[in-house]
């Protein structure tokens, strides 16, 4: 049996696939103790842990530690003269016209930043050797007195030569046994000192939190008789065994959204859909991603709470528009949706847990696009009167009926999501009409068709058990890790030999790590060179065929760069300008032996379709409401229709039709 458990902001989802079919569970999250929510899901699913061969987990624990500033107490150690690099940051401003703008606050205070005497040059040669005695006499006592849980080491030019960082880490480990250490040369071996320092400190900041969380989780698993493999999802779309995650916790950020993308890629791909806009709308937020030819876009840098992080991550755009997003009025009197959320505690007003503010979910209850007696397959009670009480002040303010204000609130939320999708598509030269939308999460299928209309998308795919697709993505994802190194070189006739040398060096290091984690000796490899015209500030990622490096020439490198530069910027640049490579990235993947199949099997008895009237998109619509479990492959139906399963509700508006295909995907089309 394979089990995926994904902890979201509002619900914790579980998918178990085994010889007896599929088992799906959805329970409320416990924000104060995410592992409690995960084990509540395991208990609710009534699983015998001794029969589980593969358990994959995704959690927001690392992300929350940064956003809530609840990570470990970290000391930052750098080269003498660079103590303030985390405070000085960059000269750029994320909000140019904000007169009150302040730079994001680092997770390490200035008094917790220390210097050591050493210096490497940009080519990795030693200008000043590390003064070991000064480290023992001066730095070590300060680290012991400070009560630090972790130390982040980021020495200048350590990306070119990690010797001093490794030497310093050895000294600290020998004298401070209980302190966890993160070296920039192991976390992000790239140039640009501030970004490397920020990434390393954040990795050290969340490492003890992740380790404690994994220890608690593993103790409870072992207590239940679990003897299988326990892995954790990463933000790059792959997962790692728990012991691998303990050494590089920074990759655990945004693991839940990445799992959803991988679940969508796997399930939609079965029906031949490979160019996708993934649309994951949960209880707290909406995550969207563009997938081309079955491959989600990767970005090497993103920011969390304003702090840059350089590690490969699926290029996901997130907006605060989820089922729990609060509906409010701004200072200009305009109706707004999110980004504030009612979350899991207390949740939307209709959940009956003390929530009093109007949310998107409450709006659906008032519009009748959610049926109270069918929510989560009828397993969760919904208080329609509480939704009405929450929206009454807004209805009075705008002189609207409850249905009208609820419909307006949802259309505002839809507009926020459309904007997020435009950022990843049209603003990057991609026409959304060339893609199919894959809708999942508890609320995604409710909003998908209207959002597709605004974007001109003609096909929407709703996977089976769409509300827990992220949990499925955990067990459908391969094992994956990325390595990077900065190695600047001008592209010339002798460059291919140097590129081959770098590849072999990175390959040996990466495969050794995979072998130590028990992931095999022959992983799949992806080799990328970050290239640019000399003088440019940003790079273009150019994929190289590592199996054909022997035949690579300087001219071929230039042609590959020109083609990728044209794809990104719509022009190839001046071919006469010199081109340089600044960094290399190696992706290492151990594919699954067999990808588990997500089906429509449930334990719920099919419900008979009934006449149903809903207020939607500015008017009243008479249609039907029924259960998805009554459909068999080949069945079709036309909107208006509310189609329900145990994890989500699918809204099929007038003018749309839906067909269940042989892979249990519901394919919705316009016209």
Instruction: Give the C-alpha separation, 481 to 234, whole Å.
Output: 9
Measured CA to CA, the distance from residue 49 to residue 33 in angstroms comes to: 21
* Fold designation for 270-478+610-671: Nucleotidyltransferase; domain 5 (3.30.420)
Output the furthest CA–CA distance in the chain (Å, rounded).
82
| pLDDT average, residue stretch 67-91 | 93
Residue 100's φ and ψ, nearest 5 degrees, are -100, 10
Contacts made by residues 174-179, CB under 8 angstroms, sequence distance 24+ = 175/136, 175/140, 175/143, 175/144, 176/140, 176/143, 176/144, 176/148, 176/151, 179/143, 179/148, 179/149, 179/150, 179/151
Q: Which pLDDT tens digit goes with each residue over 403-459?
A: 999 999 999 999 999 999 999 999 888 999 999 999 999 899 999 999 999 999 999
418 contacts 449 by C-beta, under 8 angstroms: no
Cis peptide before 519 (omega within 30 of 0): no
Give how far the C-alpha of residue 352 lies from the chain's centroid of Cα atoms, to the nearest Å.
30
| pLDDT tens-digit series, residues 517-555 | 888 888 999 999 999 999 888 899 999 999 999 999 999
| Of 499, 463, 646, 503, residue with least CA distance to 588 | 503
Q: What is the pLDDT of residue 600?
A: 67
CB 5 within 8 A of CB 38: yes
Alpha-carbon gap, residue 204 to 529, rounded angstroms: 27
Pick from 236-250, 254-268, 458-472, 476-490: least confident: 236-250
Cα→Cα distances 241→131, 228, 257, 526, Å = 37, 11, 19, 20
Give the pLDDT of residue 254.
82
In angstroms, the CA 628 to CA 600 distance is 9
Please give the DSSP secondary-structure letter assigned to residue 446.
H
609 burial type by CB count under 10 A (0-12 exposed, 13-18 middle, 19+ buried): middle
Is the pLDDT reported for residue 249 higher than 90? no
User: Cα-flanking dihedrals φ and ψ of residue 157, to 5°?
Assistant: 65, 20
Structure-derived torsion over alpha carbons of residues 429, 484, 306, 96, reported in degrees to the nearest 10: -50
The residues of the chain that CATH labels 3.30.1490 are 479-590
How far apart are the C-alpha atoms of 663 and 631, rounded to whole Å?
Answer: 12
Among 172, 322, 301, smallest CA distance to 257 is for 322
What secondary structure, in 3-state letters, does 341-364 show?
ECCCCCCCHHHCCCCCCCEHHHHH
Eight-state DSSP code of residue 401: -
pLDDT in tens, 327-382: 999 999 999 998 888 877 788 999 998 999 999 999 999 999 998 887 776 678 88
Query: What kind of fold does domain 479-590 have according to CATH?
Result: Dna Ligase; domain 1 (3.30.1490)
Q: How confident is the model at residue 299 (pLDDT cuts 50, 70, 90)?
A: confident
Contact by Cβ (8 Å): 38, 351: no
φ/ψ (deg, to 5) at 409: -60, -45
Q: What's the sign of the alpha-carbon dihedral 125, 128, 129, 130? A: negative
H or E stretch covering 452:
helix 444-455
| 464, two tokens | 């089976």
Q: Which of 195, 173, 441 is nearest to 318 (CA)?
A: 441
Distance (Å, whole) CA 478 – CA 472: 12
Whole-Å CA distances, 640 to 250, 458, 460, 643, 647 = 45, 17, 15, 10, 20
User: pLDDT, tens digit, for every residue of 99-157?
Assistant: 888 889 999 999 999 999 999 999 999 999 999 999 999 999 999 999 999 999 999 99
> pTM, whole model, 2 decimals?
0.89
pLDDT of residue 647: 87
- pLDDT above 70 (res 221): yes
Within 13 Å of residue 229, how many CA atoms lie on the same side as its CB? 14
CATH 3.30.420.40 spans which residues of the chain?
270-478+610-671
CA distance 89 to 85: 6
Encoding tokens for residue 70? 């609840």
Q: Are 325 and 338 in contact (CB under 8 A)?
A: yes
Summarised one tens digit per residue, pLDDT across range 7-22 is 987 789 999 998 888 8
pLDDT tens profile 612-625 = 999 988 889 999 99
Could you tell me the sign of the dihedral formed by the alpha carbons of 189, 195, 199, 205, in that order? Answer: positive
At 491 the pLDDT is 94
What pLDDT shows up at residue 607? Answer: 57
What is the spatial order of strands in the sheet that 150-154 belongs to? Answer: 113-116, 74-79, 150-154, 180-183
Cα dihedral 311, 36, 383, 380 sign:
positive
**Are the C-beta atoms of 616 and 345 separated by less than 8 Å?**
no
Q: CB–CB of 631/644 below 8 Å?
A: no
pLDDT band at residue 608 using 50, 70 and 90 as cut-offs? confident
Q: Which of 30-39, 103-112, 606-615 has the highest mean pLDDT?
A: 103-112
CA–CA dist 12, 6 (Å, integer): 6
Whether 52 has a pLDDT exceeding 90, the answer reads yes
Classify residue 525 by burial, with Cβ atoms within 10 Å: 0-12, 13-18, 19+: middle
Q: Tell me what the pLDDT averaged over the chain comes to.
A: 91
Exposure pattern of 320-358 as b/e (b: 16+ CB <10 Å)?
bbbbbbbbeeeeeeebbbbebbbbbeebbbbbeeebebb
- Residue pair 349/389 in contact (Cβ under 8 Å)? The answer is yes
**In the chain, helix, strand, coil percent, each to 5?**
35, 30, 35
Residues 508-521: pLDDT tens digits? 998 998 888 888 88
Considering only CA atoms, which of 398, 187, 411, 413 is closest in space to residue 285?
A: 413
Residue 138's CB is within 10 A of a number of other CB atoms, namely 14
Q: Which backbone phi and psi does 195 adopt, to 5 degrees?
A: -60, -40
- Residue 302 φ/ψ, nearest 5 degrees: -145, 175
């Amino acid at each position: 049996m394979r089990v995926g458990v994904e902890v979201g902001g509002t619900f914790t989802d579980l998918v178990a696939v085994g010889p007896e079919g599929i088992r799906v569970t959805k329970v409320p999250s416990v924000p104060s103790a995410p592992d409690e929510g995960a084990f509540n899901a395991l208990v609710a699913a009534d699983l015998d842990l001794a029969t589980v061969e593969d358990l994959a987990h995704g959690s927001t624990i690392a992300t929350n530690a940064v956003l809530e500033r609840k990570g470990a107490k970290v000391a930052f150690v750098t080269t003498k003269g660079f103590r303030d690099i985390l405070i000085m940051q960059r000269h750029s401003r994320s909000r140019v016209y904000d007169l009150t703008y302040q730079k994001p606050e680092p997770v390490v205070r200035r008094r917790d930043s220390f210097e050591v005497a050493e210096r490497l040059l940009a080519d990795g040669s030693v200008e000043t050797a590390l003064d070991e005695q000064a480290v023992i006499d001066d730095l070590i006592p300060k680290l012991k007195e400070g009560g630090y849980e972790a130390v982040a080491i980021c020495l200048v030019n350590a990306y070119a030569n990690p010797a001093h960082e490794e030497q310093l880490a050895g000294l600290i480990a020998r004298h401070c046994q209980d302190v966890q250490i993160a070296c920039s040369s192991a976390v992000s071996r790239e140039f640009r000192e501030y970004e490397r320092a920020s990434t390393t400190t954040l990795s050290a900041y969340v490492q003890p939190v992740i380790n404690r969380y994994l220890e608690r989780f593993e103790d409870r698993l072992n207590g239940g008789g679990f003897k299988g493999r326990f892995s954790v999802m990463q933000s790059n779309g792959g997962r790692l065994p728990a012991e691998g995650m303990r050494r590089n916790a920074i990759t655990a950020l945004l693991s839940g959204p990445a799992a959803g993308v991988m679940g969508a890629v796997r399930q939609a791909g079965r029906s031949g859909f490979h160019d996708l806009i993934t649309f994951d709308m949960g209880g707290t937020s909406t995550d969207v991603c563009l997938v081309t030819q079955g491959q989600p876009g990767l970005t090497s840098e993103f920011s969390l709470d304003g702090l840059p992080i350089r590690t490969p991550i699926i290029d996901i755009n997130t907006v605060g528009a989820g089922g729990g997003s609060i509906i409010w009025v701004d200072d200009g009197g305009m109706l707004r949706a999110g980004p504030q959320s009612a979350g899991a505690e207390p949740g939307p007003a209709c959940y009956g847990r003390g929530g009093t503010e109007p949310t998107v979910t409450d709006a659906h209850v008032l519009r009748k696009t959610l049926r109270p007696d069918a929510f989560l397959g009828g397993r969760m009670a919904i208080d329609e009167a509480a939704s009405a009480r929450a929206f009454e002040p807004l209805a009075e303010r705008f002189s609207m009926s409850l249905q009208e204000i609820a419909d307006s609130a949802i259309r505002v939320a839809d507009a926020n999501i459309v904007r997020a999708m435009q950022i990843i598509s049209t603003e990057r030269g991609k026409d959304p009409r060339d893609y199919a939308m894959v809708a999942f999460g508890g609320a995604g299928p409710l909003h998908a068709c209207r959002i597709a209309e605004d974007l001109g998308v003609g096909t929407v795919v709703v996977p089976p058990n769409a509300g827990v697709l992220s949990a499925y993505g955990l067990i459908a994802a391969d094992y994956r890790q990325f390595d990077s190194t900065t190695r600047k070189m001008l592209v010339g006739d002798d460059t291919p030999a140097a590129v081959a040398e770098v590849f072999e060096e990175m390959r040996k290091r990466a495969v050794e790590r995979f072998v130590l984690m028990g992931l095999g000796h022959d992983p799949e490899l992806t080799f990328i060179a970050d290239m640019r015209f000399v003088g440019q500030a940003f790079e273009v990622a150019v994929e190289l065929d590592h199996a054909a490096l022997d035949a690579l020439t300087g001219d071929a490198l230039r042609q590959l760069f020109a083609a990728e530069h044209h794809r990104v910027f719509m022009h190839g640049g001046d071919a006469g300008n010199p081109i340089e490579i600044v960094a290399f990235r190696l992706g290492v993947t151990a594919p699954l032996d067999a990808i588990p199949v997500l089906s429509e099997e449930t334990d719920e008895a099919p419900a008979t379709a009934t006449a149903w009237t809903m207020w939607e998109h500015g008017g009243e619509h008479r249609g039907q409401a029924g259960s998805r479990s009554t459909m068999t492959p080949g069945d079709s139906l036309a909107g208006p229709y509310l189609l329900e399963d145990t994890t989500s509700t699918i809204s099929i508006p007038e003018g749309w039709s839906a067909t269940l295909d042989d892979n249990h995907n519901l394919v919705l089309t316009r016209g």
